[in-house]
């Protein structure tokens, strides 16, 4: 799977939400999207799965404009786990799962899994379990996972590639050990932090103190 965005812009009325985003997302990579509240993370995800259409720029999937794919074709290729979801009808769990299989009838394949703050209502045990499952799909099956995350340390633990956003723009993106720096964190989140290589986690981690906030 390859997704490319070329100078993509989107706004809600006159309020810009995404500005000039150009990225290339390749197969077999666990991507993490990080940034302050309201920076455009969820809007970017909505654009990548065609829940929304760019006001300017273009998105390609496998070298073909995303707009050229039918809704059914997109549903076969992508799965979205949103931050909040509820079913207000008396369906069983099996019936709900089978509804999600509709686009795959006659073509059973595990889709690329997009997580939009999917662990926001989970405790740490279940969050690690979910990300571990997604990580195994990436490593063992070559799937692509794009996860909007709030926890920087969980992102550093599981993601191979980070995309940091601020005010609707991508301000830094690349391998975790290149992007996750003290300077970048302060620029994006307005907090001071210490970044170090943690031997227990076997990953780069971030710590703060009580006076971390930068006015």
**Which domains does the chain show, CATH number per domain?**
3-84+98-178 (3.40.50.300)
Q: Residue 188 pLDDT more than 70?
A: yes
pLDDT at 172 over 90: yes
212 is written with which tokens? 């971390």
Q: How many CB atoms are closer than 10 A to CB 9?
A: 16
Contacts of 111 (CB under 8 A, 6+ apart): 75, 76, 77, 78, 79
Which of these, 17, 19, 16, lies nearest to 8 by C-alpha position?
A: 19
Which pLDDT does position 90 carry in this prediction? Answer: 52
Give me 184's structure tokens: 């970048």
Mean pLDDT of 36-40: 95
β-bridge pairing 56-61 and 3-12: antiparallel
Rounded alpha-carbon distances, angstroms, from residue 132 to 127, 129, 206: 8, 5, 20
Mean residue pLDDT of the chain comes to: 86
pLDDT higher than 90, residue 119: no
Helix/strand/coil for 176? helix
Residue 95 has pLDDT above 70, yes or no: no
SS3 63: coil
36 C-beta neighbours (distance < 10 Å), count: 15
pLDDT for the residue numbered 108? 37
């Amino acid at each position: 799977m390859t997704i490319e965005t070329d100078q993509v812009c989107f706004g809600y009325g006159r309020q810009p939400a995404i500005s000039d985003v150009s990225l290339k997302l390749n197969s077999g990579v666990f991507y993490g999207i990080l940034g302050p509240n309201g920076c455009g993370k969820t809007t970017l995800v909505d654009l990548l799965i065609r829940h929304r259409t760019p006001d300017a720029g273009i998105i390609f999937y496998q070298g073909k404009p995303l707009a050229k794919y039918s809704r059914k074709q997109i549903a076969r290729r992508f799965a979205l786990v949103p931050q909040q979801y509820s079913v207000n009808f008396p369906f069983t769990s099996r019936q709900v799962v089978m509804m999600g299989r509709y686009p795959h009838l006659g073509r059973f394949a595990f889709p690329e899994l997009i997580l939009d703050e999917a662990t926001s209502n989970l405790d740490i045990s279940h969050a690690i379990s979910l990300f571990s499952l997604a990580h195994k799909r990436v490593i063992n099956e070559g799937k692509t996972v794009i996860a909007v995350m709030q926890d920087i340390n969980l992102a550093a633990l599981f993601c191979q590639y980070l995309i940091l956003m601020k005010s609707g723009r991508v301000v830094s993106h690349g391998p975790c050990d290149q992007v996750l720096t003290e300077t970048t964190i302060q620029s994006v989140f307005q907090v001071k932090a210490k970044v170090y290589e943690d031997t227990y986690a076997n990953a780069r981690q971030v710590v703060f103190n009580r006076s971390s906030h930068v006015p």
